Amino acid sequence: MTLRELNGLDEMLQTLNVLQELYPSLTPENYLADLKEMLPNNRYGQVAVFDGDTCVGVSGFWIGTKLWCGKYLEIDNLVVSAKVRSKGVGKMIFDYLAEKAKQEECSMVSLDSYTSNFKAHKFFYNEGFAPKGFHFINILDAKKIR
């Protein structure tokens, strides 16, 4: 398996099948529209793991700045295909993004996780992550939530 940072819209669109394992309602049209809105910010990227030509894991990431922590890297939508879970794909992605955060001189790496995703939480703890607070949301349009 190989890991690489994806360059541009065309490469990112190839990860849709893996993302749909987490978000079955994500259509090609939605994904294209979302990426077109996200990419011009120049602080969004994706890294993916491939088994041959097949994407088996993907994560988006944002590099941002907040007053309380300065520059940080946020892991966004880490998804590993069910057929390769527990085979080191998630670890490959985490290690890559941790190194990227260091190269970017970030103060930390952060991520959000659904409260019910207990298997992922165990993995995150094993990777050195710990909860710092709560991520509160106020849903304004439930139809738009995947």
CATH number for position 14? 3.40.630.30
Query: If pLDDT is split at 50, 70 and 90, which confidence band does 128 have?
Result: confident
Number of H helices, E strands in the chain: 5, 5
- Tell me the mean pLDDT in the region 6-34: 96
At residue 1's C-alpha, the angle toward residues 32 and 128, to 5°, is 85
Residue 120 phi, psi dihedral angles, 5° rounding: -65, -40
What average pLDDT is seen over the chain? 93
Residue with token string 């994407």: 55
As a whole number of angstroms, the distance between CA 75 and CA 63 comes to 9
Higher pLDDT, 131 or 78: 78
Write down the pLDDT at residue 66: 93
Higher pLDDT, 114 or 106: 106
User: Is residue 8's pLDDT more than 80?
Assistant: yes
Which residues share a beta bridge with 47? 5, 59
Write down the pLDDT at residue 41: 76
The set of residues, in sequence order, having a beta carbon less than 8 Å from that of 76 and lying 6+ positions away, is 44, 59, 60, 61, 62, 111
Number of domains in the chain: 1
Write down the pLDDT at residue 18: 97
Q: What is the pTM of this model?
A: 0.88
User: Is residue 48's pLDDT more than 80?
Assistant: yes
Write down the pLDDT at residue 124: 87
Three-class DSSP category at 122:
helix
Alpha helices by DSSP H, 1-73: 8-13, 16-22, 28-38
Which residues share a beta bridge with 80? 57
- Tell me the mean pLDDT in the region 11-38: 96
User: 135 is written with which tokens?
Assistant: 């991520």
- Tell me the mean pLDDT in the region 109-128: 85
Write down the pLDDT at residue 16: 97
- Asked if 86 and 119 count as a contact pair (C-beta separation under 8 A), the reply is no
Range of the domain at 71: 2-144
